[in-house]
Amino acid sequence: MAQSFISIKKFVDEPYSQILGYPNATNHQIKSRINELEKLGIKSILLIGPTTLGKLAILGKGYVGVVVLAKKGNKQVALKIRRTDSQRKNMKNESILLKLVNSVNVGPKMIAVSKNFLVMEYLEGKKISSWINLLKGVGSTKKLKITIKKILQDCYRLDRLNFDHGELSNISKHVIVGSSKSTIIDFESSSTKRKPSNVTSITQAFFIGSGIAKKVQKIYKNPSKEEIIIALKQYKQEGTQENFERLLKILKL
């Protein structure tokens, strides 16, 4: 049976209220958040996605918020809802960070923000680990190489911006691959105040340290870890375009 968008007015009641006020909220808080959504132009929410909250399907869940598919006007958007137990007072800082990465064409586009909500471009796709699992047959090596190179280039742009994502060693949760676009997501732990390690973290995740590295190795033969580590050390010492291009060459990208 096809699912349909549910009016936000219904989110005042269980079980839907647990999404707007996760993990605990009073009726007053829920009603206040519904008013906030109406001011943002969010009229309805569709409960789909790979993660569950109770028995309800959502797009994702993190330390700061839960993410659902919503509708703003006639446009589908990703809606991040601030958790009631989040240490963040509001969503403003994350919206500033998202605007910053958008300035170098990275991440989902930032659309709107309020105290408890962040409205972003909805990117339909699969998490990178699931996407790699489905890769098979003719052209799979080429597709994988194109996707990894695109993500590495995004990471290089973030490094040049002096922006550190902070969680790219756990790549499976933070890269989405769609039919028209692949991108890094979830900037809630990001910072411009620490030394960026985006290229280093993502390279290690793809080629050295993780379960994904083993999957990548099965699809195309990587260079030795020693070669990759030497190239990464050079890049860490001096994050120039030349050293980045050398890294791509060693990775056969």
Work out the percent of the chain whose per-residue pLDDT is above 90. 85
Checking if the pLDDT of 124 tops 60, the result is yes
- 146 within a domain of the structure (yes/no): yes
- 62 within a domain of the structure (yes/no): yes
Checking if the pLDDT of 3 tops 80, the result is no
Per-residue pLDDT reduced to its tens digit, 97-106: 999 999 999 9
- 242 within a domain of the structure (yes/no): yes
Can you spell out the DSSP letters for the chain? -----EEGGGGGSTTTHHHHT-S---HHHHHHHHHHHHHHTEEEEE--SSEEETTEEESEE-SSEEEEEEEETTEEEEEEEE-TT-S-S-SHHHHHHHHHHHTTT-SSPEEEE-SSEEEEE----EEHHHHHHH--STTHHHHHHHHHHHHHHHHHHHHHTT-B-S-TTSGGGTEEE-SS-EEE---TT-BSSS---HHHHHHHHHHTSSHHHHHHHHHSPPPPHHHHHHHHHHHHH---HHHHHHHHHHTT-
Question: For 31-55, what is the mean pLDDT?
Answer: 96
- 202 within a domain of the structure (yes/no): yes
Cβ distance 19 to 66 under 8 Å? Answer: yes
Stronger pLDDT, 180 or 72, i.e. the higher one = 72
- 44 within a domain of the structure (yes/no): yes
* 41 shares its domain with 116: yes
* 74 shares its domain with 114: yes
* 151 shares its domain with 82: no
CATH number of the domain within which 47 lies: 3.30.200
Is the preceding peptide bond at 15 cis, omega within 30 degrees of 0? yes
Enclosing domain of residue 113: 6-101+108-121
**Token output for 184:** 């890094």
* 157 shares its domain with 191: yes
- 1 within a domain of the structure (yes/no): no
Residue 1: the pLDDT is 40
Question: For 229-238, what is the mean pLDDT?
Answer: 96
- 207 within a domain of the structure (yes/no): yes
* 227 shares its domain with 205: yes
Per-residue pLDDT reduced to its tens digit, 125-140: 999 999 999 998 778 9
Q: Which residue has the tokens 């918020």?
A: 65
Bridge partner residues of 77 (DSSP) = 70, 121
Residue 190: the pLDDT is 94
* 187 shares its domain with 73: no
- 26 within a domain of the structure (yes/no): yes
* 87 shares its domain with 22: yes
Checking if the pLDDT of 30 tops 80, the result is yes
* 115 shares its domain with 16: yes
Question: For 120-127, what is the mean pLDDT?
Answer: 93
Q: Which residue has the tokens 């375009």?
A: 241
Checking if the pLDDT of 2 tops 60, the result is no
How many domains in the chain? 2
Checking if the pLDDT of 209 tops 60, the result is yes
